[in-house]
Amino acid sequence: MRPTNCRTALTRRALLAAGGALYLEPLAERAASAAGSLKEIHLRAQQSETSVAGPRYPKTPVWSYNHSVPGPEIRVRQGSRLKVTVANALGEPTTVHWHGIRLPNRMDGVPHLTQAPIQQGETFTYEFDVPDAGTYWYHPHQRGFEQVARGLFGALIVEEPEPLAVDRDVVWMLSDWRLTADAKPDGNFGSLHDISHAGRLGNTVTINGEVGEKFAVRAGERIRLRLINAASARIFALEFKDHDPRVIAIDGQPVQPHTPPSGRCILAPGMRMDLLLHMTGRPRNHYSVEDRFYRGREYRLIDLAYTDQVGSSSLFREVTLDPNPLPEPDLSAAQRHDVILGGGMMSGMMAATVHGRRMDIQDMMRRGLAWTINGVAESGHIHEPMVTLKRGSSHILRMQNDTAWWHPMHLHGHVFRVLLRNGEATRFKEWQDTVLLAPRERVEIAFVADNSGDWMFHCHVLDHQAGGMMGTIRVA
Ligand code: C2O
Ligand code: CU
């Protein structure tokens, strides 16, 4: 059963068709700070208005960092230190989580678990080193299903000591909005229907905060395209018509360059993918980029619009990124743990454990809970840890999706290798921090528990997370 959402998909095409041209600026001028140095950033979470649906629609009331959606792009050099002061003017508590960054637990931005929520009018300063190069992002962890879906997200790019020799380094932060006809956010955040089905799927997909029509390119150039899925629920399967994107990194971590299976770049919420895109099309021609994840709901995301110029590329060979300094799990000594995902519509789940006691599904649903990990539905951010791991030891999580839905599972503070899918070895033993499980799929991941603290492990469909699909893993 492939989750779809009929009610909201109908107007997306209309909204997309109405969008204006979107030309993304080259990033070459934006200098990253050098390794070992400190970069200071100020973010202010506040309500604002931006043009989400394009020029033919009124502006959309959004929740933003510094009045912009996405928030400011943060660029630092690998090994440098980042200091971000977050002021909260949202009108409700918030936090900022640095998705994919291996940082000290108290900087992880999980309310109550790693810090007190930042109250309205207060500030909090995050300060940490960035050990790994790659494409990361930041977003609130407080009521994420609403705060992220209203526009609170931004890119965090950690540059390699030697940047890749490409003509342009471009970020596409993908998001998905459920807007009313006058481009206001539909106010029904965290509905029981969204929680228990595919999450809040929207009707307006944006690139860098705005519906896009065209992305101007020049024949011959090579682009490093950094895709980030900041949607709260939507999974993307991007196809670049008549182009051959090569995947060079997943979740920020270098991977052997390859063409994605069936030419589809699959990105679940939370995930990133770095592509090397060689502009092999003809001047003045347009080539569509389509999202074909949900059957019957395919749509054109944007066009690669070739100008009449022909350029030659600075780059003539395949590039492989240097690996990040990740600890290699010792598979022969690794402890195994079963992680069973349960619940949702059509699973037949009758009851689960909530706050230490059995609860039947009707009672759970009344509390907005529909999902479990190992039979436990969690709410809030403070839980009894699912498991306690000895610091420095290796572990294999044998995950099994016993539901009829897709779940991108994200582990904080660590990066893991994806070893097996349904018992078969993965092609590259990819390093990831978020791994997508198809309905009924089994996936094994391995990692070294080398970072002390209580770390969230949850589904990045943010309505599923709120609906119980989360837990904490303690490293001590
Ligand atoms: Cu991207 Cu727990 O989050
Ligand atoms: Cu999920």
User: What is the pLDDT at residue 29?
Assistant: 36
Q: How far apart are CA 63 and CA 103, in angstroms?
A: 26
Q: Which of 449, 326, 340, 434 is nearest to 388 (CA)?
A: 449
Ligand 1 within 6 A of CB of 272 = no
- Where is 410: in which H helix or E strand? strand 407-411
User: What is the pLDDT at residue 395?
Assistant: 98
User: What is the pLDDT at residue 163?
Assistant: 86
Instruction: Name the CA dihedral angle for 8, 10, 11, 15, rounded to a multiple of 10 degrees.
Output: 110
Q: How confident is the model at residue 382 (pLDDT cuts 50, 70, 90)?
A: confident
SS3 content of the chain, % helix, strand, coil (to 5): 10, 45, 50
Ligand nearest to the CA of 269: 1
- CB-neighbour burial class of residue 344 (10 A; exposed 0-12, middle 13-18, buried 19+): buried
User: What is the pLDDT at residue 14?
Assistant: 37
- pLDDT over threshold 80, residue 404: yes
For the segment 168-191, the average pLDDT, to the nearest whole number, is 97
- Judge whether 469 and 458 are in contact, CB under 8 Å: yes
Q: How confident is the model at residue 10 (pLDDT cuts 50, 70, 90)?
A: very low
Q: How far apart are CA 50 and CA 150, in angstroms?
A: 11
Q: In what order do the strands lie in the sheet with 60-65?
A: 60-65, 38-50, 81-89, 123-129
User: What is the pLDDT at residue 419?
Assistant: 98
For the segment 75-85, the average pLDDT, to the nearest whole number, is 97
Beta partners for 434? 410
Tokens of 110: 């999980």
Ligand 1 within 6 A of CB of 52 = no
Ligand 1 within 6 A of CB of 99 = yes
**Which ligand 1 atom is the nearest neighbour of the CA of 465?**
2
**Which ligand 1 atom is the nearest neighbour of the CA of 139?**
1
Share of the chain above pLDDT 90, in %: 85
Ligand 1 within 6 A of CB of 301 = no
Q: Whose CA is nearest to atom 3 of ligand 1?
A: 99
- pLDDT over threshold 80, residue 16: no
Higher per-residue confidence, 81 vs 35: 81
462 CA distance to ligand 1 middle (Å)? 9
Ligand 1 within 6 A of CB of 97 = yes
Share of the chain above pLDDT 70, in %: 91
Q: How confident is the model at residue 372 (pLDDT cuts 50, 70, 90)?
A: very high
For the segment 324-348, the average pLDDT, to the nearest whole number, is 95
Ligand nearest to the CA of 469: 2
Q: Whose CA is nearest to atom 1 of ligand 1?
A: 99
**Which ligand 1 atom is the nearest neighbour of the CA of 100?**
1
Helix (H, G, I), strand (E, B) or coil at 61: strand
Ligand 1 within 6 A of CB of 141 = yes
461 CA distance to ligand 2 middle (Å)? 5
User: What is the pLDDT at residue 316?
Assistant: 58
Q: How far apart are CA 455 and CA 424, in angstroms?
A: 28
- pLDDT over threshold 80, residue 169: yes
Ligand 1 within 6 A of CB of 268 = no
- pLDDT over threshold 50, residue 30: no
183 CA distance to ligand 2 middle (Å)? 27
User: What is the pLDDT at residue 398?
Assistant: 98
User: What is the pLDDT at residue 350?
Assistant: 84
Higher per-residue confidence, 50 vs 25: 50
What's the predicted TM-score (pTM) here? 0.92
Ligand 1 within 6 A of CB of 464 = no
pLDDT tens per residue across span 57-69? 999 999 999 999 9
**Average pLDDT over all residues of the chain:** 92
Ligand 1 within 6 A of CB of 381 = no
- pLDDT over threshold 90, residue 436: yes
411 CA distance to ligand 1 middle (Å)? 8
pLDDT tens per residue across span 205-219? 999 999 989 999 999
Q: How confident is the model at residue 165 (pLDDT cuts 50, 70, 90)?
A: confident
What DSSP designation does 15 have?
H
- pLDDT over threshold 90, residue 465: yes
- Judge whether 352 and 388 are in contact, CB under 8 Å: no
Q: How far apart are CA 410 and CA 376, in angstroms?
A: 17
Ligand 1 within 6 A of CB of 412 = yes
pLDDT tens per residue across span 277-299? 999 999 999 999 999 999 999 99
Ligand 1 within 6 A of CB of 270 = yes
